[in-house]
Amino acid sequence: MITEVDHYGLDLLHDPNLNKGTAFTQKERKLLGLEGLLPPHISTMNEQVERVMAGLRGKPTDLEKHIFLIGLQERNRTLFYRVVIDHLEEIMPLIYTPTVGLACQEYAHIFRRPQGIYITERDAGNIRQILNNWKDDDVRVIVVTDGERILGLGDLGASGMGIPVGKLSLYTACAGIAPRNTLPITIDVGTNNDRNLNDGLYLGLHKERTRGEAYDAIIDEFVQAVKDRFPNALLQFEDFGNQNAFRLLKKYRKQLPTFNDDIQGTAAVTVAGIFSAMRLTPEPLADQKILFLGAGEAGIGIGELMVAALVEGGMDEAEAKQRCWFFDSRGLVVSSRDNLQAHKLLFAHDAPFITDFVEAIDYLKPTAIVGVSGQPKTFTEPVVRKMAEINPNPIVFALSNPTSKSECSAEEAYTWSEGRAIFASGSPFPTFNYQGQTFVPGQANNSYVFPGIGLGVLVSEAEQVTDEMFLAAARTLANLVEESDLAQGRIFPPLDTIRDISAVIAAEVARVAVKQGIARANLPANLVEYIRDTMYEPVYQEYA
């Protein structure tokens, strides 16, 4: 492809979308006024990738590696995505969980260049104009956060921008959505994090969070501005606090294509893990009983999707809800408790109020425990041993992110269960050898599903993102797990196949949209092949 550009010399080198660095040919250097501005050797992209990886692997810490990669993204976007795609399993933990959590905590101290759009409560009445300042008109995917619940780290305020940036990097790397079609946004309404408020370098508003009607007015103005400025965009809510996440999803999900990945994406990948685990356990899906440690966005979202899966299998909804139990910071969620939040009431069952998690396991006899608490080391040795006592193959999902918040490690789960646990975590753990058997821990990473779901919504031009799409994604992902994966204890496919996974999930999501009558696009019969052909591939343009 030969492209004419009106950028010359240093301007071209400073545009991350056009810059090729040392890969500019001699002809391009002469035509574009680049002679003398680059070292004389003309590099191939493969050479550049090799140089990047050598520099990356020489960094002493994961945070330094994160900074190095973000610097590359800000200089040469094409090369950045080539590196990520070619080395996905190595790079993903550095640009997203677990390293992105530390990067957000240190955001004010490692900030280099702005990425995306910042909107504050001071911009009320002017949000539409602020969106106009983004010069790419064809935005198709927006990830927005207000920074209140960043991973398991809590309120990081404006420093949460690393999350939308990281998520959108995965949309591009995992699902082939072009970088120019993505936009990260942070809405800053203050922070209740004392560390931020007392840090003179903090880059957000130095005030406590705005709540109530003023907060709602800003979110509403923002959503309406998105609908007007980017009418073809999918809006993904990310890392909002519990008190806002559920109600904002309910309020806006029929107004435009939108979803909350913490609620729905986590649910899809976790239910996919349950489906896969069924191939390793004697109990069918209808006999599963899940006890969740944590009753926030992730847990309730998983519970609701699990109920949908059981109902689809023929179970009555009331009975299906009895298969999902929750244990929060006070104890077992039961109907006798006072002042339960609305989302917890859905799963408040008649039972004794138990405040000890091991006792709750002994009483309920669950086949699976799912940690979504953000509280590290809460799946203790007595917890895992109790699960192994009552189950031949206990399902132990320690999903809290980052790694420092994980309820237990893979090594602990396998050791304490004597090698019988079916384990998955939110952040990656290394392979583990137990008595001669090598286990490859499953990572219940949302990147398995949200990029493909988003791609399917865009391909079908779906008017909404429905619950059925997430259940279809869960079943599709589980079906892609090979017997060879299961033999190693891995209940998710290898991450290096993620672009193929995303294409297949996108096709299923698009078919759901067609079936539900909410697809506006005319889709071809060879849908998976069509989707693969439309994916962004990071290759350099030729300039003349």
- Residue of 81, 96, 171, 536 marked active site: 96
Whether 103 is covered by a domain: the verdict is no
- Annotation says 515 is catalytic: no
Residue 1's pLDDT is what? Answer: 45
* Packing angle of the helix pair 450-460, 527-534 (nearest 10 deg): 100
- Give the pLDDT confidence of 438-473 residue by residue, as tens digits: 999 999 999 999 999 999 999 999 999 999 999 999
Whether 181 is covered by a domain: the verdict is yes
CA distances from residue 299 to 202, 271, 358, 367, 387 in whole angstroms, order as listed: 32, 11, 19, 16, 19
Q: 283, 276, 305: which is closest to 292 by C-alpha?
A: 305
Whether 111 is covered by a domain: the verdict is no
Length reported for the chain: 544
Q: Quote the CA–CA distance of 493 and 481 in Å, as a whole number.
A: 5
- Annotation says 167 is catalytic: yes
Same domain, yes or no: 381 and 526: yes
Residue 6's pLDDT is what? Answer: 60
- Residue of 167, 344, 386, 405 marked active site: 167
Whether 544 is covered by a domain: the verdict is yes
Tell me whether residue 180 is exposed, middle or buried, using C-beta atoms within 10 angstroms of its C-beta: 0 to 12, 13 to 18, 19 or more.
middle
Host H or E run for residue 237? strand 234-237
- Give the pLDDT confidence of 303-341 residue by residue, as tens digits: 999 999 999 999 999 999 999 999 999 999 999 999 898
Same domain, yes or no: 246 and 375: no
- Give the pLDDT confidence of 97-124 residue by residue, as tens digits: 999 999 999 999 999 999 999 999 999 9
Same domain, yes or no: 436 and 396: yes
Same domain, yes or no: 126 and 245: yes
Same domain, yes or no: 162 and 274: no
Same domain, yes or no: 248 and 270: no
Mean of the per-residue pLDDT values of the chain = 95
Structure tokens at 44: 């191939």
CATH assignment of the domain containing 466: 3.40.50.720
Whether 105 is covered by a domain: the verdict is no
Provide the β-strand partners of residue 320. Answer: none
Provide the β-strand partners of residue 442. Answer: 424
Same domain, yes or no: 273 and 386: yes
Residue 76: give the domain boundaries: 2-96
Structure tokens at 35: 């002679």
Name the domain boundary from 256, 274, 289: 256
Would you call 154 helix, strand, or coil by DSSP?
A: coil
Give the phi and the psi of residue 118 in degrees, each rounded to 5.
-110, 130
Name the domain boundary from 223, 240, 256: 256
Q: How confident is the model at residue 543 (pLDDT cuts 50, 70, 90)?
A: confident
Contacting residues for 339 by C-beta, under 8 A, at least 6 apart: none
CATH assignment of the domain containing 213: 3.40.50.10380
Residue 431's pLDDT is what? Answer: 94
Residue 7's pLDDT is what? Answer: 61
Whether 107 is covered by a domain: the verdict is no
Q: Quote the CA–CA distance of 293 and 340 in Å, as a whole number.
A: 16
Same domain, yes or no: 266 and 391: yes
Residue 292's pLDDT is what? Answer: 98
How would DSSP label each residue in 410-465? HHHHHHHTTT--EEEESS----EEETTEEE--EE--GGGTHHHHHHHHHHHTBSS-
Would you call 159 helix, strand, or coil by DSSP?
A: helix
Number of neighbours of residue 218 by Cβ within 10 angstroms: 23
Number of domains in the chain: 3
Position 489 pLDDT exceeds 60:
yes
Q: Quote the CA–CA distance of 45 and 78 in Å, as a whole number.
A: 10
Provide the β-strand partners of residue 334. Answer: 349
Q: How far apart are the first and last CA of the chain?
A: 10
Whether 138 is covered by a domain: the verdict is yes
Q: What is the pTM of this model?
A: 0.94
Using alpha carbons only, what angle is made at residue 205 by residues 201 and 210, rounded to the nearest 5 degrees? 150
Q: Decide if 457 contacts 431 (C-beta within 8 A).
A: no
Number of neighbours of residue 22 by Cβ within 10 angstroms: 17
Q: Decide if 80 contacts 173 (C-beta within 8 A).
A: no
Same domain, yes or no: 66 and 175: no
Name the domain boundary from 223, 256, 289: 256
Structure tokens at 450: 């949200």
Instruction: Quote the percentage of the chain above a pLDDT of 70.
Output: 99
Same domain, yes or no: 266 and 295: yes
Q: Quote the CA–CA distance of 409 and 397 in Å, as a whole number.
A: 10
Same domain, yes or no: 84 and 210: no
Cβ burial 512-541 (10 Å sphere, 16+ → b, else e) = bbbeeebbeeebeeebeebbbeebbebebe
Contacting residues for 39 by C-beta, under 8 A, at least 6 apart: 22
Whether 222 is covered by a domain: the verdict is yes
Residue 197's pLDDT is what? Answer: 96
Same domain, yes or no: 239 and 150: yes
Q: 87, 102, 91, 46: which is closest to 68 by C-alpha?
A: 91
Mean pLDDT of 79-87: 98
